[in-house]
C-alpha cells in the first residue's frame, strides 16, 4: 500500500495504491464523508487488480475545493477522469461504494468509452422527482457561498471513532479506519478534516427517465452488490434498476451493513468481484425483481417495527 498525491492545478487529489502494477487498472471511490481508508480490508483481497483508492476533494488527504468552486458530482467525475489520465489509463475499471458508486455509475453512463467495468457496493446513480433534483442542485450552489460551519471537537480519536460508529451503525474498527485518515488536531482535541461545505451540498440526482437512459448507455459489464435495502435513496435507484433490461448489468444481494466492504463480509464481496472479473456465472446470488421486493418489504416492516 502506497500513498500518492496528484496536483490538479488548484487542488490536490490524494489516494492509496494496492496490488501489482500489471493488475487491472482500477479507481476505487469511497462513500459520503468517508475516505480512501474505507478500502483497507477489501483492496488487498483483490490481488489481480491495481487499485488506486482516491480521496474525493474535501475528504481525507485531498485538498478542499476553493471558495468559489462547487462540491458537485460533475466536479468529482472530472477529477476521476483526470486521475485516470494522470496514470495513462485510457480504459479503466471502477469500484465504488455508496456515493462513490453513484459517481462511478454516472461516469460509466456519461463516458462509456472510458470505463472497462463497473462494480457498485450498495449504491448506484440516485434518482428523485424533478422538483427534488432541482432543489438539490440549488443546494449545491448555495453551499458554495457559505463559510464552513464549525465542526464538533472531540477529546480523543477514540471518542471520535465511537461517535461515528454510533451515528452510522458501522463497527468501531471500521469507524476507526475512517477517522485515521479523516482527522486533524485543533485546540481542545480533534475534529474532521473534511470540508464542512460538503454537508450543505446536494447529491447529483437524475430523474427517472434520465436514469433509465443512463443504464441503457452502459457499455461495459456492471455488477451492483446490494447490502441494505432499507435505505430509501437506494430503494429509489433499485426500483428503476430492476425494471430496465440491461444485459450488461448484474445485481446480487449480500444482506449486511451499508459498509459491508469494511466488515467481515468483505471476503464475500471479494469473491463476487473475482467471479465477475473472471466472467463466471453468478446465478445463485442474483437479485431478481421478485427477491428484491421480498427484501424491501421485509426491510420496511422492520423499520415500521
Structure confidence by residue, pLDDT tens digits, 58-105:
999 999 999 888 899 999 999 999 999 999 999 999 999 999 999 999
- pLDDT over 80 (residue 305): no
Q: Where are the domains of the chain?
A: 2-147+200-304, 149-194
How far, in whole angstroms, is CA 215 from its chain's centroid?
17
Query: Could you report the per-residue pLDDT of 243-271, keeping only the tens digit for each?
Result: 999 999 999 999 999 999 999 999 999 99
For the four alpha carbons of 166, 169, 170 and 171, in that order, the dihedral sign comes to: positive
Fold of 2-147+200-304: Rossmann fold (3.40.50)
pLDDT band at 1 (very low <50, low <70, confident <90, very high): low
- How many residues in the chain? 305
DSSP 8-state secondary structure symbol assigned to residue 171: -
pLDDT band at 149 (very low <50, low <70, confident <90, very high): low
**Sequence-ordered strand ranges (E) for the chain:** 2-7, 12-18, 24-29, 49-54, 92-97, 115-121, 183-186, 189-192, 222-226, 249-253
Most confident region among 8-12, 180-184, 200-204 by mean pLDDT: 180-184
pLDDT of residue 289: 87
Percent of the chain residues past pLDDT 90, beyond the cut:
79
Q: What is the pTM of this model?
A: 0.95
DSSP 8-state secondary structure symbol assigned to residue 127: B
> Exactly one of 38, 98, 117, 140 is catalytic; which is it?
98
- SS3 label, residue 100: helix
Rounded distance, CA 235 to CA 213, Å?
Answer: 18
Percent of the chain residues past pLDDT 70, beyond the cut:
97
Residue 161 falls in the annotated catalytic set: no
How far, in whole angstroms, is CA 65 from its chain's centroid?
19
Amino acid at each position: 500500500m502506497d500513498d500518492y498525491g496528484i496536483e490538479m492545478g488548484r487542488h490536490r487529489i490524494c489516494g492509496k495504491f494496492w496490488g501489482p502494477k500489471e493488475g487491472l487498472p482500477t479507481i476505487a471511490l469511497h462513500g459520503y464523508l468517508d475516505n480512501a481508508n474505507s478500502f483497507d480490508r477489501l483492496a488487498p483481497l483483490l490481488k489481480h487488480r491495481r487499485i488506486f483508492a482516491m480521496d474525493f476533494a474535501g475528504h481525507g488527504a485531498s485538498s478542499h475545493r476553493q471558495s468559489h468552486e462547487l462540491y458537485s458530482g460533475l466536479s468529482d467525475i472530472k477529477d476521476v477522469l483526470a486521475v485516470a489520465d494522470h496514470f495513462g489509463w485510457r480504459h479503466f475499471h471502477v469500484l465504488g461504494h455508496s456515493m462513490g458508486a453513484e459517481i462511478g455509475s454516472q461516469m460509466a453512463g456519461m463516458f462509456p468509452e472510458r470505463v472497462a467495468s463497473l462494480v457498485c457496493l450498495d449504491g448506484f446513480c440516485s434518482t428523485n422527482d424533478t422538483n427534488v433534483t432541482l432543489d438539490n442542485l440549488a443546494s449545491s450552489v448555495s453551499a458554495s457561498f457559505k463559510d464552513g460551519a464549525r465542526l464538533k471537537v472531540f477529546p480523543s480519536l477514540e471518542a471520535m471513532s465511537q461517535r461515528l460508529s454510533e451515528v452510522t451503525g458501522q463497527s468501531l474498527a471500521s469507524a476507526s479506519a475512517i477517522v485515521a485518515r479523516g482527522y486533524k488536531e485543533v485546540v481542545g482535541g480533534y475534529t474532521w478534516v473534511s470540508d464542512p461545505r460538503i454537508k450543505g451540498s446536494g447529491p447529483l440526482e437524475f430523474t427517472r427517465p434520465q436514469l433509465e437512459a443512463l443504464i441503457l448507455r452502459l457499455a461495459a459489464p456492471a455488477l451492483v452488490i446490494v447490502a441494505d435495502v432499507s435505505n430509501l435513496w437506494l430503494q429509489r435507484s433499485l426500483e428503476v434498476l430492476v425494471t430496465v433490461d440491461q444485459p450488461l448489468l448484474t445485481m446480487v444481494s449480500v444482506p449486511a451493513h451499508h459498509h459491508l466492504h469494511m466488515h467481515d463480509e468483505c471476503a464475500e464481496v471479494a469473491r463476487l468481484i473475482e467471479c465477475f472479473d473472471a466472467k463466471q456465472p453468478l446465478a445463485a446470488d442474483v437479485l431478481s425483481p421478485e427477491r428484491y421486493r421480498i427484501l424491501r418489504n421485509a426491510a420496511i416492516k422492520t423499520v415500521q417495527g
